[in-house]
Chain A
Amino acid sequence: MKNSILKTLTLAGVLVIGLSSCGNGGDKSTDQNAANDADKQILGAGSTFGNPIYTKMFSEYGKTSGIQTNYQSIGSGAGVKQLMNKLVDFGASDAFLSNKEDSACSAKVVEFPTCLGAVVISYNLPENPALKLTPEVLSDIFLKKITKWNDKKIAEVNEGVKLPDMDITVVHRSDGSGTTYIFTDYLSKVSDDFKSTVGKGKDVKWPEGEIGEKGNEGCAGFIKQTSGAIGYIELTYALQNNFTSASLKNAAGNFVTPTLESASLCANGDIPADTRISIVNSNVDQAYPISSFTWVLLYKEQNYNNRSKDKATNLVKELWWMIHEGQAQAKPLNYAPLPAKAVAAAEGVLKSVTYGGQPILQ
């Protein structure tokens, strides 16, 4: 009996090992056709924010080039991890790599912006008045220092608006997201108080008593349901669903309503060569202050994991297309396209990508 249990255990072990080794079997194929096909298949993963526009861009690009791109919208953090583990050809993220993440990568990773996203402040008040907010008032609301809608500080910037005597219910994104990152990045820039008590990040510790909701749809649903609620949602989502959004006072002192144009303007300043820049609170005259790039990341040296030169070239050409012809896909899908200065910076990054030390784009 003992013997038979032992035998079974060994058999089970062999089965497990057999199953796990199956995965490595396919690499040795020498069939030339198969190799060509593999070179035309690009795999990317990351940002859920960029998913709609990336899917559209890749399907358009595939029609003319024959390149098949499979984009998995698994979240920015997971996309970066997949790239670090060299499981995808490119990653996509709503935040540029921190120094810590950068040093955790086994090889040099470069990144460039593909389009812009913005975060709008949405609210639900009786009679739906148009609200103006200043950075100070906004951070006080999210720090729970202002708790009533008829607070003097809100009334001061909204002369002539009838504000109800109601509690403010603050809602934030509970899932780690680029939207939260951009929003807290902005508040940390404009308020030292916010920076020291909450700080910036994809997940942060919000003051007690605030509600967390999952996803844009959760936050938007909550705001729609709850009189007196205020929260932040992505511009694309707000535009598609006609949400009421507050105009914000920007660094130049103008109150600006969030639109694709005003969000795009944020990026019309100077952009460093590595494109790692936070553009929130831009001092461009009519810029909406809470916007940010979304990035695509790839290895600077493309000769790794036995990748062919053809594949690397296909990848870089496709990414080049994204920042040029691909930009036409942005506005119809409610994304803010890259302004000229940002395109120039992105071109510089793509030209720096090499295969075996030689630049891929001539």
Chain B
Amino acid sequence: MSNGDIDARFPLELEAPRFGLKKPEARFDVQGDMGDDARIATAMKNFVRDFGAVAATYMESCIHCGMCAESCHFYVATGEAKYTPIWKLEPFKQAYKREMGPFAFFFRTFNLKKRTTVAQLKEWQELIYDSCTMCGRCTMICPMAIDIASLVGLARHGMAQAGLVPHELWGVAERSDREGSPLGATPKVFKERCEWLADEYEVSIPVDKARANIMVTMSSIEIMKYPQSIVATAKVLNHMGADWTFRSDGYEATNFGMLSGNAQWQKDISLRLINAAIACGAELLILPECGHAYGALRWQGANVYGKPLPFKVRHISEFLAENLQNGRIRVQPLAKTMTFHDPCQVSRRGGAMEAPRQAIRALGAELVEMKETGGLNWCCGGGGGVVTIHRADPIRYKAFQIKMKQVEDTGAEVLTSTCSNCRQTFDDGQAHFHWDKTMTSLLELVADNLAEAPSERPSAVK
């Protein structure tokens, strides 16, 4: 397929509460024209490609207690047994036991585990992609502490190479690899947006400085749907007097290569950021309000690169918390009650759980925690690429109702988070349910409440 054909088959939707691909009239959920044997062999080869002692331990350890179901928003919201997290891996468990485990010989010889088929994998596509946000809540309940989300990630490697990625997710991932952004935020578009925003909001937005201490990245959702986040970022960094820049050769932090399971695309996308940060000599790379971008670069970036990164990687919430606490960012008190939605990949799985709370307290707001919060927070239902998949909408909306209730129960005036993908999932849920709560960005709240005359402060960063 030519690029034009791909664009025609996978057109973007940039006007709805949720940005992504338009709802397809005809779905193309199978890519390439491999035969069944080749497809299954490819799926399994790539599933086990990064298989080590950790994944094998998890594959061997399930005791079939079924408790993981009770932690999963898709099971709890629907009551359908097929959404049990460990069941989502069944064909891969079957293949592991038959082909790779310590007793594979017996399983094969006596045909105790059947050969996984392409039909099975096609059936499981819905479970591996549409109904798993890789939020990792099931890891928290599993009595064996099996990290099912990481296994789903490996299963997606197999599915992606075998050409079994859902239509929308393949479409945005391919565009991301080809154009540098899943939502059409090409380098040209990004630079034009920055110029326009700089004029419109009378704020300096440095792009492509040759040298800078800090390189800042954005999510395509922010660039296209919430461009005020770019302004907020600039306002905060300028307020601090920081030496920073955006780079048109490395600005897009989302990694749909990772979400779709395409390891090569994941690497390509991460290397753009890494190489850009090295090129401008950055000591710090700030990741935007995006959940999976944190997992992709903070925790997997160096491993994709093959050695430690020569700069630090921090989420914007960590950066805000640190500089609010040390006084380099000064704010006016925001006397409101506020509840915080933890983005799974930053909080539960990323470890940056305290930072946003420190920032909220530094803002002077009263934090009202949800009943299940921090590491046990309920996912919004849109992570892991799920929000892009139209086919998943019915179960996603059901899962979102858990989140709505959590928010309602707090009675807080302001709802905030630090992930633009969660934010657009909330926007979409808000529109669907005609809900009166709007998700806000913690970064924008900080930027909107900066204290005046920063240049007079002795603590400003030179």
Q: Do these two chains interact?
A: no
